[in-house]
Amino acid sequence: MSQKKVLIIIPTYNERENIIILIPEIRKKLPDAHILVVDDSSPDGTSECVKELSKNIENIFVLDREKKQGLGRAYISGFKWALKRDYELIFEMDADFSHDPKYLPDFINAAEKADLVIGSRYISGVNVINWPMSRLLISYFGNIGARIVAGIPVKDCTSGFKCFHSKVLKSINLNKVGSSGYSFQVEMNFYVWKQGFNIVEIPIIFTDRKIGESKMSTKIVREALILLWKLRLMSIFYPGKR
Ligand SMILES: Nc1nc2c(ncn2[C@@H]2O[C@H](COP(=O)(O)OP(=O)(O)O)[C@@H](O)[C@H]2O)c(=O)[nH]1
Ligand SMILES: [Mg+2]
Distance 153 CA to ligand 2 centre (A): 24
pLDDT in the model for residue 2? 54
**Is there a domain that residue 1 lies in?**
no
Beta-bridge mates of residue 116? 164, 199
Percent of the chain's residues with pLDDT above 90: 84
Contacts of 226 (CB under 8 A, 6+ apart): none
22 Cα: distance to centroid of ligand 1 (angstroms): 15
Substitution site in 17, 22, 26, 71 for ligand 1 pocket (most atoms within 8 Å of beta carbon): 71
Residue 92, domain member (yes or no): yes
With respect to residue 74, please indicate whether it lies within any of the assigned structural domains: yes
What is the average pLDDT across 44-57?
97
* For residue 79, pLDDT beyond 60: yes
Beta pairing partners, 206:
128
Least Cα distance to 62 among 84, 76, 43, 81 occurs for 81
Q: Is residue 206 part of a domain?
A: yes
- Identify the pLDDT of residue 239: 73
Task: Specify if 242 maps to a domain.
Answer: no
Ligand closest to the CA atom of residue 71: 1
* pLDDT band per the 50, 70, 90 thresholds, residue 219: confident
In a domain, 77, yes or no: yes
Q: Please report which confidence band the pLDDT of residue 4 belongs to, taking 50, 70 and 90 as the band edges.
A: very high
Average the pLDDT over 139-145 and give the result.
91
pLDDT band at 51 (very low <50, low <70, confident <90, very high): very high
Dihedral-angle region of residue 128 (phi above 0 means left; psi in -120 to 50 means alpha; beta otherwise) = beta
Question: pLDDT (tens digit, 9 = 90+) per residue, 165-194?
Answer: 999 999 999 999 999 888 999 999 999 999
Is pLDDT at 120 greater than 70 in this prediction?
yes
pLDDT at 144: 92
- Which residue range forms the structural domain that includes residue 60? 6-237
Q: Which region holds residue 104: left if phi is over 0, alpha if psi is between -120 and 50, else beta?
A: alpha
Alpha-carbon span 221 to 33, nearest angstrom: 33
Per the structure, the count of domains in the chain is 1
What span, in angstroms and rounded, lies between the C-alpha atoms of 212 and 216?
Answer: 12
User: Residue 237: pLDDT above 90?
Assistant: no
Across 42-55, average pLDDT: 98
The predicted model gives 207-217 an average pLDDT of: 88
124 pLDDT band, cuts 50/70/90, is confident
Residue 106 lies in a domain: yes
What is the reported pLDDT for 44? 98
Pocket test for ligand 1, best of 10, 13, 64, 179 (most atoms within 8 A of CB): 13
pLDDT mean across residues, the chain: 94
Q: What is the CATH number of the domain that holds 231?
A: 3.90.550.10
The secondary structure of 168-233 as a DSSP string is HHHHS-GGG----STHHHHHHHHHHHHTT--EEEEE--EE--SSS-----HHHHHHHHHHHHHHHH
The answer to whether residue 222 is domain-embedded is: yes
Mean pLDDT of 84-109: 98
- The pTM of this model reads 0.95
CA of 70, closest atom in ligand 1: 27
* pLDDT score at 238: 78
